[in-house]
Amino acid sequence: MENLNEKKCIPCSGDIPPLDIVLKRKLKTQIDGEWEFTHNETRLYRSTKFKDFATPLALAAAIGALAEEQWHHPELTIGFGHIDIEIWTHKIDDLVESDFIFAAKVDQIISKVLS
C-alpha cells in the first residue's frame, strides 16, 4: 500500500464527502503521534516546540512551499519556541484523505529538522 506521504493532495472541491470517523481514526495511525483531532474530530492539530524562533520560522516557510505545491493550505501559528499547525479542508469544514496526506508530508519536513 502506498504511504500517505507518497500520495498527492487532491484539489479541494465542495462535493468531496468528509471521511467517516472510522477511516479518520485509521488514517491518524499513519501520521506522527503528535497530531491530535480538534473541533469535534474535523481538524488535525500539531504543536511542536523548539528552543528558538528561527526554526519555527524556517519550518513555516517550508510548509508554506509544500502547501503551494500541493494546493492544500494549513493554518500556521509561529512564535518563539513553537509552531502550531492546523489542517482541514476549508471547502467542507471537515477532513478528507488529502488532509492526512498533507500531515504526513509535514511530518517528513519536521523530522528532517529534528534529525
Ligand X SMILES: C[C@H](O)[C@H](O)[C@H]1CNC2=NC(N)=NC(=O)C2=N1
Tell me if 50 sits within 8 A of 100, measured CB to CB.
no
- Please report whether residue 16 would count as binding ligand X according to CB under 6 A: no
Query: How many positions of this chain bind ligand X (CB under 6 A)?
Result: 7
- Please report whether residue 71 would count as binding ligand X according to CB under 6 A: yes
- Please report whether residue 91 would count as binding ligand X according to CB under 6 A: yes
- Please report whether residue 42 would count as binding ligand X according to CB under 6 A: no
- Please report whether residue 93 would count as binding ligand X according to CB under 6 A: no
Q: Dig out the grid coordinates for 42 from the structure.
A: 474535523
- Please report whether residue 12 would count as binding ligand X according to CB under 6 A: yes
Q: List the beta bridge partners of residue 83.
A: 48, 78
- Please report whether residue 25 would count as binding ligand X according to CB under 6 A: no
Per CB under 6 A, which region of 24-32, 36-44, 57-65, 70-78 contacts ligand X?
A: 70-78
- Please report whether residue 73 would count as binding ligand X according to CB under 6 A: yes
Q: Report phi then psi at 63, rounded to 5.
A: -70, -35
User: Nearest 5°: CA angle at 47, between 42 and 53?
Assistant: 140
User: Nearest 5°: CA angle at 19, between 64 and 75?
Assistant: 20
Query: Which residues sit at the interface with ligand X, rule CB under 6 A?
Result: 12, 71-73, 89-91
